[in-house]
Amino acid sequence: MSDRAWQRLLFATCALAALTLILDLRIMLVENTDLGARFGPTKTPFVERVLSVEPNSNAAVLRPGDLVDARAMTPAQRYVWVHVIPYGTRVTLHVTRDHAQRSVTLVNDRRAIPPWDNWVVFASMAWILLFALLFTWRSPASAQARVLALMLALFVLGIDLEPGNWVSPLAALDLAFGIAGFVFLAASIAMLATYALLFAQPPSALRKTLAACAYGAAALWMLAAGVVAVGTWTGNLDPYAALSSPFWPLATAMLPFLTPLLCVLAALAATRGAERQRLTWAALSFGTLYVVMLIGGILWLVTRTPDYGLWHVVVDAATFVAPLGLTYALLSRRLLDITFVVNRAAVFTVVSIVIVGAFVLVEWAVQEWARAAGPAANIAVSAALALALGLSVRFIHVRVEHVLDNVLFRKRHEDQRAIRAFAREAAYITDEATLLERTRAVLEAHADASFVTIALDDGAGHYGIAGENDPAIVALRTWHEVLDLHAAASALRGEFAYPMVARGRLVGALVLGPKRSGEAYAPDESESIAQLALGVGAALDVLSAKKEDTLAALVEAVRALPDAIAARLGDVYRLPAE
């Protein structure tokens, strides 16, 4: 699949997640109700005991100790009763009280304010979705970014469609969406294993085995959740009885989170430098949530009850950790080049302020005159002002962008100018050793590279420690494009390899190590380095040609030396003519 097709697919997934998130907010505000009673399971499937009843609530007709039989309900009524009762729904309950059966009708029409942890989850989902859109927009060509974006979007979809979070007038639709939510959520959790596999290529057999276990655990989760949902609908599987068995915490709250964590740990052991830092901050941001869920699964297994209110709040609060860690990785560890985004946001914010402010100020200045001149003049002046500001948007945008660019990103631009300047100066350096030394110094100072390796063609089929058939050398020689060395099984070690090309021939490879700061190389920064590599490659080619010409002249002179000596000796010892 092409990068453009991937980007469209990811944008579509993010749009779907955004739609469900908006609908989820409506459901949280409109459908969040309080029936006024607490229920607990009994040994009889689908029969619950009333534990407590709030006075003056909609459930005040019930009494503690009443038994509510859901077996007599229709599948749709039973599914709604188990998960969430929509606002305004009239519910008829079959109640057993003092060994006598009766029908009790409740109207669920008392709205309740969503608790604070629900708002935390909603904010976290919006925050996570923003990251998914950002990764899709800025790095559609990166496999790591694509997997991370898809993982985040599916996570939001899964949370939004979970039973209890999604409510509609059709219970059958809720059942289908609930099962889809479990599928999306399990797939998202397992994709952390896929993300870990993209680091330290090629992955070992152990890492592949752990990833397969993560996929198997996700499939088991989907199957188990689907069985419970369908069993609730048909009345063949009491969810309370099922969830209290040891199988369900293992299948739905322990193995699905434990196996991806093991994949991340194995990948961390195999990575080094900046690659390890990217994996750490990207994967373990979600890994913290996984650890919390894993601890919850252990508690579930020990207590044999899936409902412990305090831990539910802890899990909801832990969802905030994931986007928080991603934000730190984005801004501090440069998980993604955010400078462009910050720049655009600042530019458009200031431009909007300038235009709107100018409009308001001028409108206020001419208000009195326009009022005196009449409504027609007022409209004409406003239209002329809007037209003038509209035509000046481009000028304002250019000036604001120039100012902000120099204020916010001066050091960055100074480094890039220094790199580009040396790319031109390289052509005027006449000593190869000096050229190579200055190249290393410039990149270490202005690109913050921890090391710089220049692998030159020795004319015997080797580029430094790499042979001419090395995968990285072959790719550089074929495509003449920057190469991510983490994606190539090459003898060259570093972050990126830049082709040094002259007259269509690969003169050498400029290899940069990770940044000393642990950040990633930004796209515009990498473009400047690629320009420097081409300039240095052309300079090396010229010096090599001069060296070859000098050597050829020397060889020719040495070859002609015997004849010249013989001729000279002949002139000296030639006998005088008789």
Contact 189, 290 (CB under 8 A): yes
* CA angle at 163 for the pair 161 and 166, rounded to the nearest 5°: 50
Count Cβ neighbours within 10 Å for each residue of 502-512 and write b for 16 or more, e otherwise.
beeebbbbbbb
| Candidate ranges 136-150, 345-359, 497-511; pick with highest mean pLDDT | 497-511
- Which residue bears the tokens 């992955």? 203
In this structure, what token pair is assigned to residue 5? 């097709």
Pairwise CA distance, residues 289 & 326, whole Å:
13
Pairwise CA distance, residues 330 & 132, whole Å:
12
Average the pLDDT over 450-464 and give the result. Answer: 91
100 pLDDT above the threshold of 60 = yes
Band of residue 553 on the pLDDT scale cut at 50, 70, 90: low
* Averaged confidence pLDDT in the chain: 80
What confidence score (pLDDT) does residue 54 get? 85
313 pLDDT above the threshold of 50 = yes
| Candidate ranges 280-284, 312-316, 347-351; pick with highest mean pLDDT | 280-284
295 pLDDT above the threshold of 90 = no
What confidence score (pLDDT) does residue 188 get? 92
CA distances from 136 to 3, 144, 336 (A): 10, 11, 11
C-alpha dihedral (338, 339, 345, 348), degrees to nearest 10? -150
Residue 66, phi-psi category: left (phi > 0), alpha (psi -120 to 50), beta (remainder)? beta
pLDDT tens for 181-221 read 999 999 999 999 999 998 888 889 999 999 999 999 999 99
8 pLDDT above the threshold of 50 = yes
Q: Which domains does the chain have, with CATH numbers?
A: 3-28+114-331 (1.20.1070), 33-108 (2.30.42.10), 339-408 (no CATH), 411-547 (3.30.450.40)
- Which residue bears the tokens 């089929």? 461
Amino acid, single-letter form, for residue 213 = C
Pairwise CA distance, residues 103 & 470, whole Å:
79
Pairwise CA distance, residues 125 & 188, whole Å:
13
* More confident call, 72 vs 14: 14
305 pLDDT above the threshold of 70 = no
556 pLDDT above the threshold of 60 = yes
What confidence score (pLDDT) does residue 437 get? 94
CA 64 to chain CA centroid, Å, is 50
* More confident call, 94 vs 546: 94
Segment holding 534, helix H or strand E: helix 523-573
What confidence score (pLDDT) does residue 477 get? 92
Name, in order, each residue with C-beta under 8 angstroms of 440's C-beta and a sequence gap of 6 or more. Answer: 452, 454
Pairwise CA distance, residues 33 & 211, whole Å:
42
pLDDT tens for 242-289 read 777 788 888 888 899 999 999 999 998 988 766 777 777 777 677 777
Amino acid, single-letter form, for residue 437 = E
* More confident call, 353 vs 51: 51
Band of residue 574 on the pLDDT scale cut at 50, 70, 90: low
Segment holding 222, helix H or strand E: helix 205-234
pLDDT tens for 475-493 read 999 999 999 888 788 999 8
Pairwise CA distance, residues 558 & 564, whole Å:
10
CA 170 to chain CA centroid, Å, is 35
What confidence score (pLDDT) does residue 578 get? 44
575 pLDDT above the threshold of 60 = no
Pairwise CA distance, residues 538 & 255, whole Å:
56
Q: Find the farthest-apart pair of alpha carbons in the chain and give their distance in angstroms, rounded.
A: 157
pLDDT tens for 403-441 read 666 665 677 788 888 999 999 999 899 999 999 999 999
Pairwise CA distance, residues 356 & 360, whole Å:
6
Count Cβ neighbours within 10 Å for each residue of 390-413 and write b for 16 or more, e otherwise.
eeeeeeebeebbeebbeeeeeeee
335 pLDDT above the threshold of 60 = no
Say whether 39 sits in a helix, a strand or coil. strand
| Candidate ranges 89-103, 280-294, 368-382; pick with highest mean pLDDT | 89-103
* Spatial CA neighbour of 523 closest among 343, 257, 345: 343
12 pLDDT above the threshold of 70 = yes
385 pLDDT above the threshold of 90 = no
* More confident call, 346 vs 111: 111
503 pLDDT above the threshold of 60 = yes
Q: Count CB-CB contacts under 10 A for residue 45.
A: 17
Q: Count CB-CB contacts under 10 A for residue 309.
A: 7
In this structure, what token pair is assigned to residue 90? 């009239």
In this structure, what token pair is assigned to residue 63? 């009494």
In this structure, what token pair is assigned to residue 276? 């390890």
Segment holding 498, helix H or strand E: strand 496-502
What confidence score (pLDDT) does residue 530 get? 93
pTM over 0.75: no
Least confident of 15-29, 73-87, 155-169, 380-394: 380-394
What confidence score (pLDDT) does residue 380 get? 65
Pairwise CA distance, residues 56 & 406, whole Å:
65
What confidence score (pLDDT) does residue 73 get? 87
340 pLDDT above the threshold of 60 = no
Band of residue 128 on the pLDDT scale cut at 50, 70, 90: confident
Query: Residue 574: is it exposed, middle or buried by C-beta count within 10 angstroms (0-12/13-18/19+)?
Result: exposed
Say whether 40 sits in a helix, a strand or coil. strand
DSSP state of 486: G
C-alpha dihedral (483, 486, 489, 491), degrees to nearest 10? 80
Average the pLDDT over 318-346 and give the result. Answer: 59
CA distances from 316 to 17, 239, 494 (A): 19, 22, 40
| Candidate ranges 353-357, 368-372, 499-503; pick with highest mean pLDDT | 499-503
| Residues pairing with 559 in the sheet | none
Average the pLDDT over 356-376 and give the result. Answer: 59
Pairwise CA distance, residues 489 & 466, whole Å:
11
| Candidate ranges 355-359, 381-385, 569-573; pick with highest mean pLDDT | 381-385
159 pLDDT above the threshold of 80 = yes
| Residues pairing with 508 in the sheet | 456, 500
What confidence score (pLDDT) does residue 519 get? 66
